[in-house]
A and B are shown apart, each in its own frame.
Chain A
Amino acid sequence: MDFINYFANVFTPYHLLLLFGGTTAGLILGALPGLSPTMAVALVIPFTFHMEPASGLILLGAMYTATVAGGAISAILVNVPGAPANIATALDGHQMAKKGRASEALHYCFLSSFVGGIFGIIILIFFTPPLAELALKFGPTELFWIAILGITVIGTIGSKSVVKGLMAGLFGLAISTIGDNPMLGDQRFVYSEHMESGIHIVVALIGLFAMPQILTLLEECGRPSGHLMGLSEAKWFQSFLYNIKRVKALVIGSIVGAVVGIIPGAGGQIAGLVAYDQVKKTSKNPENYGQGEPDGIIAAESANNAMVGPSLVPLLTLSIPGSPTAAVLLGGLLIHGLFPGPDLFTLHGEVIWTFIDSLIVAQVFMLIIGLFLSRHSGWVMKVPPHYMAASILVLAVFGTYSIQSSYSDVLLMFILGVTMYFANKLGFSAAPMVLGVILGPIAENNFLQGKLIGEATDGVAVYFFSGAINITLIVGIVASVAYSVYANHKMKQREARKA
């Protein structure tokens, strides 16, 4: 059992410090409305560049775990979800805060996040090795289709417009071709010295996620902010005893979170809402939901954190992220030379299992620090948006520069970021674009290899469109597009009926 063999690696002083720092920073950043978990993790990546792979991944994993849970703080205190994943938490959490039970609501959040998170990591530990074995059967064409599937799923599921999601993914693929042709070495689209090295993954991550966030925060300046609820006295042990008795809510939340997490591209926002919906439907008193029902918070938050571990299953084995934040983590893996697939667990087994084990410890830190913040988090809500915008701007610039000590990277980051801000206004989202940049080189390399092999054998078309795995992946691509078109069509019909 590899995950036991490397557990001791997590308990070095340095790694424990990273876990503590990453969890605290993640909870605080997650609690700040307007800062998404994806952006927070993207900003930290340049720092991990200078670390050992295991240490860097531990920090990123702690941030990922904590930002998802931290978003509940602002959801409950200000009725503004810290992340889309916390929308369902706000429905009952803020109502509890209005009744003077804010601290109790926060206790339920962190306790149920812990339970869901541990469940999710168990899924990760037991599902990843068999799926990694399956990935051994993947050749160039399978890897090409996997890359396309990843971009398609992220671009279609959860996107308001299927076409715009796919176009964003294509734009990301296009950006990834700037620089040298991977096989022939000739330069492409290099019209300035600043573009000679192409666009680094981390430059794209920070540009596409952090920069638009800065401008969005500036938009909020001058707007009235939500009313901040005070934190009440509540004993965490009493909350714990109540929480563990809510077995149905915990089980529904954990299972929904795990299932949604393992589905590529679905993401935490769906997990929380689906779990909330299910626990409400199965409740004897559904009319209590939306009025301050603790089970609503317990189900939503256990689902959010249960999603974290399983979202890494397709990521670590097939390079398909289970959520936008997992897509950023993929960038973090690649910059350390860790390529998803079966080799990850053979060549870099110690690194990956140390990382997975650290997620368990991160859950414990999240619980302890989260319960502490339940009593002392009011100040976090008072940080003005322009302070956050200024901080993120400077941090983004320094972080980007530190990757390759290149001013060109900063320039490209800024241009990408401003472009993405306006693209957001036009309905395009960053996640498929980022995935296009990350998976573009993988897609192109394998496409060119597959083309060479196909030309030497039965023909390119036959090579790309035959074989059980290829056909399954192509069906998956078509199915995700078809499902999203159908879902969008139904949603438009519902909206038309309401109007």
Chain B
Amino acid sequence: MMSFKNMELNSALISLLVAIGFSVLSFYDTDPEVYLFPRIIAVAFLGFSIVLLFTALKSQKNDSASSTDGDEENCFITVLPGLIVGIIYLLTMDIIGFYVTSYCAFLAFLIIYGKRKATDVPAFIKKSLVAACFIGILYLLFWQGLNVRTPTGWIF
């Protein structure tokens, strides 16, 4: 798990890894003519990531470590359920159907992040209705209005 301390050093290291990865993909076993522009980008990217690393190492010597550890970790924990809902939504939309999965994802967001508990029946009904209304509007807009035919999958 990435430490949230020393954000500058982390960003420099990650940038360097991305730069190396992109350089390998651009240079290794590729046609020089086809990959000319990406290779130029890769060299520039590598150069900047090295500069970033030096800057981060230099600032680490001068400054104390960033004290936003707790805040950043709390943010990630808060966001994690939403991210999981999003991933499940993404993986199932093609299989079950765009509209049904969209409704479920919308409702899941309202339940997980709402102030009322999921067992609060009136609140649950209200959230279900809001989700249904929003998806209904999207159906009218995309399916009927713009003739966009989304995958219906098993259901719709």
Contact = CB atoms under 8 A, between A and B. Distances in A.
Given A50-B146, A405-B148, A188 B110 contact: no
A15 interface: no
A164 B52 contact: yes
A215 B93 CA distance: 20
A418 B142 contact: no
A478 to B, nearest CB: 15
A427 interface: yes
Interface in B83-132: 83, 86, 89-90, 93-94, 98, 102, 105-106, 109-110, 112-114, 130-131
A166 B41 CA distance: 11
A408 to B, nearest CB: 10
Interface of A: 47, 50, 163-164, 166-167, 170-171, 173-174, 177, 181, 184, 186, 188-189, 214-215, 218-219, 221-222, 384-387, 389-391, 393-395, 397-398, 401-402, 405, 407, 410-411, 414, 418, 421, 425-428, 443-444, 447-448, 451
A163 B10 contact: no
A contact face: mostly helix, strand, loop, or mixed: helix
B155 interface: no
Contacts of A221: 78, 113
Contacts, number: 135
A167 B46 CA distance: 9
Given A398-B102, A421-B79, 8 more contacts: A47-B146, A171-B18, A188-B30, A393-B86, A393-B109, A398-B138, A411-B90, A447-B37
A381 to B, nearest CB: 17
A397 B78 contact: no
B38 to A, nearest CB: 5
19 contacts: A50-B146, A163-B48, A167-B45, A170-B41, A170-B45, A177-B41, A188-B30, A188-B35, A214-B82, A215-B82, A386-B109, A389-B109, A393-B105, A393-B109, A394-B135, A397-B93, A398-B98, A401-B148, A427-B7
A480 to B, nearest CB: 15
B33 A418 contact: no
Contact of B34 (A171, A184, A393): A184
Task: Give chain B's interface residue range (CB within 8 Å of chain A).
Answer: 35 or more
A219 B48 contact: no
B34 A394 contact: no
Interface of B: 7-8, 10-11, 14-15, 18, 22, 25, 30-31, 33-38, 41-42, 44-45, 48-49, 51-52, 55, 72, 75, 78-79, 82-83, 86, 89-90, 93-94, 98, 102, 105-106, 109-110, 112-114, 130-131, 134-135, 138, 142, 146, 148-151
A443 B109 CA distance: 41
B contact face: mostly helix, strand, loop, or mixed: helix
Given A177-B37, A410-B93, A398 B113 contact: no
Given A390-B105, A410-B93, A425-B72, A177 B38 contact: yes
Contacts of B146: 47, 50, 402
- Pairs A-B, 10 closest by C-beta atoms: A386-B113, A426-B11, A390-B109, A402-B148, A221-B113, A186-B34, A218-B82, A390-B106, A444-B37, A177-B38
Contacts of B18: 171
Contacts of A387: 110, 130
Contacts of A170: 41, 44-45, 48
Nearest to B131: A390
A385 to B, nearest CB: 8
B80 to A, nearest CB: 9
A170 B38 CA distance: 10
Given A177-B41, A386-B114, A390-B109, A163 B51 contact: yes
Contacts of B44: 170
Contacts of B94: 407
Contact of B41 (A174, A389, A390): A174
